[in-house]
Amino acid sequence: MSSSEKTQTKTPLLSIRGLTKSFGQIKAVDNVSLDVFPGEVVGLIGDNGAGKSTFLSLLSGYNKKDSGDFYYKGEKISFSSPRTSRRNLKIEMVYQNLSLAPDLTVWQNSFLGEEIRRFGVLMDVPLMIEKTARVLKTLNSKVKPTDQVGELSGGEQQLVAISRALLFNRDLIIMDEPTAAISVSKIDDVLKLIKALKTDGKSIILVSHRLEDILTVSDRIVVFAHGKIRDILVNRNLAIEDLVRVMFQDRNVKKEEF
C-alpha cells in the first residue's frame, strides 16, 4: 500500500460534505467537501471574495450553513452557534482581526465565555490564572496572565488567541489571516507556533494571502475559487508560482501583479 493510500484510510478528524452558503444571489460557499486529518495543517488560499472566510465561519458556527453535513471522527454532528461548534467540533477560531478584548487581561481573555466557577457561581480566578500561566509557558512566551491585552504587541495578542485552543484542548484550530495584523518579525513566531500545535497532534486550517507562510507550514493546500474547491495540492516541491498559477488560472495574472 502506498503512503497516500494509507493516508486516505485514516479516519478524518473532520469531514465536510456538500457545504453550501449563499448571501442573496452570491453563492459564497458552493457544495464544498473536504476531509481534515489529525495532526494536519491545511492551507486555504484563493482570490479575494473566493469564500475562504465564509467557509471558516460555517465551521465556527458564526454563520449558518444553507446545507451540508459535518462528521467529527466519523460521526455526523450538528451545531447551531459558536458555542456548540466549540463543544461538538472541538474547534477554536483565531480571527483575522483578533477579536480580543483589549481592556481585559490575558487570563480574562483566555477564559472569556468559558470561565471556571466554583459551586457554579464564584469565579475561580487563581485557577484560571494558573492554567493560563501554564499554557503561556508551553508556548515559550514572556507574556503574563495578568498583562492587559491592549498593551501587548500584535504577535503576542495572536499568541493569546491561540492559547485558548490549548487551554480547552481543542482538536482543530482555524485561523483566518493570523499573520496579517502583526509585524514581519513576529510572523516566524506564529509559524513556529503552528508547527508546535501540529506536533502536539492538533489539526489546523490556515487561511492566508502570504503564500510563503502557507508553503512553510501546510501539508496540503486547498485552492478556493468562486466558492468552490478548485484544487487540492500536496505540499511537495511546490513554489509560490505554482500556487499563483492555480489561484488565478482563469485570469491569466502574472506573479509580479499579485
Ligand X SMILES: Nc1ncnc2c1ncn2[C@@H]1O[C@H](COP(=O)(O)OP(=O)(O)OP(=O)(O)O)[C@@H](O)[C@H]1O
Positions touching Mg ion (CB under 5 A) are: 53
Looking at 9-17, 44-52, 156-164, 192-200, which segment touches ligand X (CB under 6 A)? 44-52
Of these, 26, 133, 181, 244, which contacts ligand X (CB under 6 A)?
26
Comparing C-alpha atoms, which of 46, 45, 54 is closest to residue 23? 54
Our CB check for Mg ion shows the closer of 53 and 60 to be: 53
Q: Is 157 exposed, middle or buried (0-12, 13-18, 19+ CB in 10 A)?
A: buried
Of these, 8, 10, 23, 153, which contacts ligand X (CB under 6 A)?
23
Comparing C-alpha atoms, which of 21, 31, 11, 41 is closest to residue 172? 41
- Site pattern 140..179 for ligand X (x: CB under 6 A): ----------------------------------------
Asked whether the beta carbons of 227 and 50 are under 8 A apart, the reply is yes
- How far apart, in whole angstroms, are the C-alpha atoms of residue 5 and residue 211? 28
Partner in contact with 50, chosen from Mg ion, ligand X, none, beta carbon below 5 to 8 Å by kind: ligand X
Our CB check for ligand X shows the closer of 40 and 47 to be: 47
Our CB check for ligand X shows the closer of 28 and 36 to be: 28
Residue burial 195-205, b: 16+ Cβ < 10 Å; e: rest? eebbeeebbbb
User: Minimum Å distance from CB 176 to Mg ion?
Assistant: 6
Of these, 46, 145, 155, 178, which contacts ligand X (CB under 6 A)?
46
Interface with ligand X includes 50 (CB under 6 A)?
yes
User: Minimum Å distance from CB 63 to Mg ion?
Assistant: 12
In sequence order, the β-bridge partners of residue 118 are 122
Only one residue has cell 481592556, namely: 103
What does the H/E/C string look like for 212-250? Answer: HHHHHHCCEEEEEECCEEEEEEECCCCCHHHHHHHHCCC
Interacting residue ranges for ligand X, rule: CB under 6 A: 23, 26, 28, 46, 48-54
